[in-house]
Structure 1
Amino acid sequence: MPSLPSPTARVRAGALLASAAALLSAGPLQPATAAAASSTAGAVHATAAVLDLDRTGGTPVVHGQDRAYDTASIVKVDILAALLLQAQDAGRQLTARERELAEPMIRRSDNAAAGTLWRRIGRASGLAAANRRLGLTATTGGPGPKWGLTRTTASDQIRLLRDVFDPGDPAHAALHPASRAYVRTLMSQVVPEQSWGVSAAGAGGAGRILKNGWLERSTTGRWDVNSVGEVTVGGHRCLVAVLTDGSASMSDGVSLVERTARAAVA
């Protein structure tokens, strides 16, 4: 007889599926273009980008085709960066209400909070304005309220992470030091059931400075599963972004992300 999943595994799976259901309940998430539904035929795709922060040069190594994927909830880091840039421009700190929204958006992947902040930054146009300053060149905000359908590439996610974790020349960083520290702190406080992903590539799987995203496509039943963050490998700090689509299940997508992350940093 096959063994039953442990209570911890059941809790993690239930929490992930509940979060995905909440994301879907925010509105129809299927993009209008055929390109965004690349998993329709059942193909599975994965792309990873890695940047070793402790080596010279700032060009990430990309594994796989650096094509565009739907972000699902990893866009929440970008939404927070845009919010912080707008606050910097106004010469102010985030308000108490903005922090009340930003913190669960990153730590618990709260979708309602993300929707509120998506509107506050000006939706796709506000995201685009921030991304021009952050150096992103291949990210397009989702239509209307559908922030989860933002499209991005693995290399663009490394550009975003670079500004957050190690901008190289701080004088040319878009985010101020306090803003960068705030994003890093929240990414290091994700709830345990969301600690899977690029963290699997770190030393002993330790640490979880990351943000994950997952979304089941209602037209195909296939899953978009993504993970971005910082890991330590062989004493080196590495930024890692893994984007995937077409997995048959959430667990398959998580396994694919973790295998891809480990292979990319090996």
Structure 2
Amino acid sequence: MASVTVADGAEVSVAVLGADSGESASYGAGVFDTASIVKVDILAALLLRAQDAGRALTAEEKAYAVAMIENSDNDSASALWRAIGTADGLDAANERFGLTRTEGGEGPLWGLTQTTAADRIALLRQVFVAEGSELSAASRAYVRGLMGRIADGQRWGVSAAADDGRGGSAWALKNGWLRRGTTGLWVVNSIGRVASGGHDRLVAVVSRGHATLAEGISLTEAAAKAAVSVFAGAGGAARGQRSS
């Protein structure tokens, strides 16, 4: 991260995990607003509830899920937020997922859920790593599929660290962006899986305090590339667990 330019007043935290090796690295440990990256969490909680009830998602739930993840549709997110029991439902699911520093947004404000980069990695593990996941193979595949079909205009962020870049298929992601009314500054986040050097990496970048959305996107992409770069070396293996 020493080579990554962070504008005055902006803050960023990033975490990365080798999906096959389990080796990890992180930078920063602050708590950030999720904006729309919480939509992956909402869907995971919905699928967990459906599993517990021994049922598949309804046609309506699937329609909401597709719009919420692929197009980042907020009305669909609000509908599923209510379906899981709002913050209480999210928090209950996250306890089972092993997230320890995420707290659901108050009332209808799912986008103001609080989280950390480390907790976003814990959530991504539930989706992309079979071992220890509370989600069934079918549920994991469903979330991964939607995250791999993000609308063209939203294919930025962690995908920049994939071997084939933003426009390729070696990634699955969800981004979040929010302009805070009190300050006019932007929250910009990105989470997902990228294929790099023949290995899958789970990457989470959370940030705030940007003067523009473009500035935030640039930082998330630079941070994602920096995170993946720690795995450079013989056989693409990480050089060990790091944090700062």
Cα distance in 2 between the residues matched to 1:59 and 1:78: 23
Equivalent residue in structure 1 for 2:96, among 122, 133, 137: 133
Q: Who is 2:77 aligned against?
A: 114
Q: Who is 2:174 aligned against?
A: 211
Equivalent residue in structure 1 for 2:11, among 45, 64, 83: 45
Cα distance in 1 between the residues matched to 2:24 and 2:69: 24
Residue 70 of structure 1 deviates from its aligned partner by 0.2
DSSP-derived class of the 1:203 partner: coil
Identity of aligned residues (%): 56
Higher mean displacement: 180-189 or 202-211: 202-211
Q: Who is 1:179 aligned against?
A: 139
DSSP-derived class of the 1:239 partner: strand
Residue 210 of structure 1 deviates from its aligned partner by 0.1
Q: Indicate if the aligned counterparts of 1:60 and 1:155 stay in contact, CA closer than 8 A.
A: no
Q: Who is 2:56 aligned against?
A: 93
Q: Indicate if the aligned counterparts of 1:60 and 1:158 stay in contact, CA closer than 8 A.
A: no
Over residues 140-169 of structure 1, what are the superposed CA-to-partner deviations in whole Å (9 max), with x where a residue is unaligned? 0000000000000001000000010013x2
Equivalent residue in structure 1 for 2:47, among 81, 84, 88: 84
Cα distance in 2 between the residues matched to 1:221 and 1:106: 25
DSSP-derived class of the 1:115 partner: helix
Over residues 129-188 of structure 1, what are the superposed CA-to-partner deviations in whole Å (9 max), with x where a residue is unaligned? 100111111100000000000000001000000010013x2xx42000000000000000
Q: Who is 1:163 aligned against?
A: 126
Over residues 12-63 of structure 1, what are the superposed CA-to-partner deviations in whole Å (9 max), with x where a residue is unaligned? xxxxxxxxxxxxxxxxxxxxxxxxxxxxxx61011110001122xx353112
Where do 4+ consecutive residues of structure 1 move more than 3 Å?
none
DSSP-derived class of the 1:204 partner: coil
Cα distance in 2 between the residues matched to 1:96 and 1:234: 38
Residue 69 of structure 1 deviates from its aligned partner by 0.4
Aligned residues: 219
Q: Indicate if the aligned counterparts of 2:125 and 2:133 stay in contact, CA closer than 8 A.
A: no
Over residues 176-204 of structure 1, what are the superposed CA-to-partner deviations in whole Å (9 max), with x where a residue is unaligned? 00000000000001101000010001103
Cα distance in 2 between the residues matched to 1:61 and 1:135: 18
Cα distance in 2 between the residues matched to 1:141 and 1:185: 25
Cα distance in 2 between the residues matched to 1:173 and 1:154: 19
The TM-score normalised by the length of structure 1 is: 0.81
Which has more helix, going by share of residues?
Answer: 1
Over residues 100-140 of structure 1, what are the superposed CA-to-partner deviations in whole Å (9 max), with x where a residue is unaligned? 11110000000000001001100000001100111111100
Q: Who is 2:232 aligned against?
A: none
Q: Indicate if the aligned counterparts of 1:211 and 1:227 stay in contact, CA closer than 8 A.
A: yes
DSSP-derived class of the 1:257 partner: helix
Q: Who is 1:54 aligned against?
A: 20
Partner AA of 2:56 in structure 1: Q
Cα distance in 2 between the residues matched to 1:111 and 1:54: 33
The answer to whether structure 1 residue 226 and structure 2 residue 185 are counterparts is no
Partner AA of 1:110 in structure 2: D
The TM-score normalised by the length of structure 2 is: 0.88
Query: RMSD across aligned C-alpha pairs, in angstroms?
Result: 1.0
